Structure 1
Amino acid sequence: MLRPLATLLLLATPIAAAELQDLQQLLEDKSCQGCELNNADLVHAELSGAQLQQAQLQGANLSRATLRGADLRNADLRQAVLLGADLSRADLRGAQLSGSDLRQSDLTGAKLDPGALSTSHWQGAQGVPTGANSYADLHNSGVEEALKGRHPEAEQRFSAAIGRRPQAAISWLARGISRGEQGRELEAAADLQQAGRLYRQGGNDDLADQLDKAAQQLRDNPKKPNGNGWGSAILGGAAGLFKQLAPYALKLMGPGLL
């Protein structure tokens, strides 16, 4: 059911009459191409299939809004709040997403430009399309998850980063730590060994030797998968390591170092 105009006047951030007219048009017709909706209150709005090409939605609150299949091409969504929004199958090509909050949103089947989410907040988002994040985004989000103790989620992000850049030794190392923290020592050992190979190819023999030794220790003395981590015992503390692993993915370094 559409909100009455009086309610909209109370809920919306104070806006000009023209903007209020755009807001009313959107909610009634689900079509407002190029309209001015900056800072508008659209929490829980039902906007499935809405036509919002080139709409100005900077700072708008679209938390929990339903935008399934909406056309948001070239829309300005900078600093917009889309927390928990349903953006499945939405077309976001050309949209400006810098600083937008897409946490816990559903992006299944959404169309996004390559690297479109690099400057947005998308932790916990579902169905993030392949290519929407850069290698560094994926690796560093994995580090963030690991520092919060969410190692299964961290492992998924590191796996995605490895898929994007298989020669990135640092991501193999990070995934190995996450797997080890979950008590999966043999899988962790395989990751550490691969990281060692890549570091050795880059001329970092000392680190490669350390990783080879750690991998062998894990194979020789595997623990039962009880979720107890081994980072502190073998690699000097998982949390400290993760804090060091994050910045490297942002630097332009040779394949043997990254």
Structure 2
Amino acid sequence: MPATAPPARLPLPGLIGLASLVLLLPAAALAADSQALIRLLSTKRCEQCRLADADLVQADLRDAELNGAQLQRANLSGARLDGARLAGADLSFTSLQGASLRGADLRGARLLGTDLRDADLGGALLDASALASSHWQGARGIDPAQQSYATLHNAGVDAATRGRFPEAEQFFSAAIGRQPEAAISWVARGISRSEQGNTAAAAQDFTYAAGLYAQEGQIDTSKQLKEAALQLDATPDKGKGGNGLGPQILSGTMGVLQFLAPLAIKAFVPLAF
């Protein structure tokens, strides 16, 4: 057999260190980009790296340099990212649920569909418009200035579609506080209140929304909301459990308020940002 050249050898300390890092990486992480992950975990510097789909659950990435990194769909649940630099990073559909991001720089980061629920964002720098496209229920430390109207309304939409109507009502109320002339938020809050069986309050929201739509010249929509308010006024409060309006809207099979379905569906569509 022809002689073959012996494989190149790493110095022993480097070889052991590399092997240790590889053994510590989950299989999903290795599939993403093993070289980038090894670099990240060994140096905490991986700017512009391709780390999509990486599994970094509870990783210690404090003060990591990740500006411009591609982290789409990565799992960073429970990770420690305090002080990390993530400016311009793509975190679309990434899970950061329960992660600590205190003082992290997220300016210019893409947060489309990013799961920030229960995360700690105290002192973090991020754009309000980007936050509006993420899921941040239960997150702590968000600067009130970063909670734009769209951010709050979309958080209400997310809570409502998950069936958490008391939480949805709170978000829609906060959105109305930011932009009281936004009729669609009044409709959405009315639906959330109806879901909790509070038909009187729901009727009031529909009536107010009807007035706003009338001012905009949308007379047919205004009439529909007034009719909905009348029907709710004739329905006694049901307490917990409500009228089942939300799930019926989503399934397209509304009952007595079926004529309101198109507007109700619109109320549960996230706003553009």
What's the TM-score, normalizing by structure 1? 0.72
> Kindly tell me: are residues 163 and 8 of structure 1, through their superposed partners in 2, closer, same or farther at Cα, counting changes over 3 Å?
farther
CA separation in 1, counterparts of 2:126 and 2:76? Answer: 18
* Structure 1 residue 85, shift from structure 2 partner: 3.9
What is the CA deviation profile of residues 223-245 of structure 1, one whole-angstrom value per residue up to 9, with x for unaligned ones?
Answer: 24232217445522787653233
**Which of 49, 52, 58 is equivalent to 2:65?**
52
Larger displacement relative to structure 2 (151-160 or 224-233): 224-233
CA separation in 2, counterparts of 1:85 and 1:248? Answer: 23
Q: Structure 2 matches for 1:239-258, cutoff 5 A? A: 241-246=263-268, 249-250=271-272
What is the CA deviation profile of residues 23-68 of structure 1, one whole-angstrom value per residue up to 9, with x for unaligned ones?
Answer: 2122xxxxx37474734543211234x243626353454232122x
Q: Counterpart of 1:13?
A: 30
Q: Counterpart of 2:7?
A: none
2:115 is aligned with 1:102: yes
Larger displacement relative to structure 2 (161-170 or 56-65): 56-65
> Kindly tell me: are residues 9 and 80 of structure 1, through their superposed partners in 2, closer, same or farther at Cα, counting changes over 3 Å?
farther
What's the TM-score, normalizing by structure 2? 0.69
2:226 is aligned with 1:209: no
> Kindly tell me: are residues 58 and 221 of structure 1, through their superposed partners in 2, closer, same or farther at Cα, counting changes over 3 Å?
closer
CA separation in 2, counterparts of 1:198 and 1:85? Answer: 39
Residue type at the aligned position of 2:61: L
Residue type at the aligned position of 2:186: W
- Structure 1 or 2, whichever has the larger Rg, is 2
What SS does the corresponding residue of 1:115 show, helix, strand or coil?
A: helix
CA separation in 1, counterparts of 2:194 and 2:181? Answer: 21
Larger displacement relative to structure 2 (162-171 or 224-233): 224-233
Gaps of 5+ in 1: 27-31, 252-258
Q: Structure 2 matches for 1:75-114, cutoff 5 A? A: 75-79=88-92, 81-99=94-112, 101-109=114-122, 110-114=124-128
Q: Counterpart of 1:23?
A: 41
What SS does the corresponding residue of 2:129 show, helix, strand or coil?
A: coil
Question: How many residue pairs are counted as aligned between the two chains?
Answer: 240
CA separation in 2, counterparts of 1:106 and 1:238? Answer: 37
The 8 Å contact of residues 117 and 139 in structure 2, kept in 1 or not, is answered as: yes
2:83 is aligned with 1:70: yes
Query: What value does the CA root-mean-square deviation take over the aligned residues?
Result: 3.6
CA separation in 1, counterparts of 2:161 and 2:113? Answer: 23
What SS does the corresponding residue of 1:56 show, helix, strand or coil?
A: coil
Q: Structure 2 matches for 1:82-161, cutoff 5 A? A: 82-99=95-112, 101-109=114-122, 110-119=124-133, 121-122=134-135, 124=137, 126-127=139-140, 128-130=142-144, 132=146, 135-136=149-150, 138-161=152-175
* Structure 1 residue 142, shift from structure 2 partner: 3.2
> Kindly tell me: are residues 41 and 181 of structure 1, through their superposed partners in 2, closer, same or farther at Cα, counting changes over 3 Å?
closer
**Which of 207, 214, 226 is equivalent to 1:200?**
214
The 8 Å contact of residues 169 and 195 in structure 1, kept in 2 or not, is answered as: yes
* Structure 1 residue 115, shift from structure 2 partner: 0.7
CA separation in 1, counterparts of 2:84 and 2:207? Answer: 46
> Kindly tell me: are residues 220 and 65 of structure 1, through their superposed partners in 2, closer, same or farther at Cα, counting changes over 3 Å?
same
CA separation in 1, counterparts of 2:49 and 2:116? Answer: 24
* Structure 1 residue 143, shift from structure 2 partner: 3.5
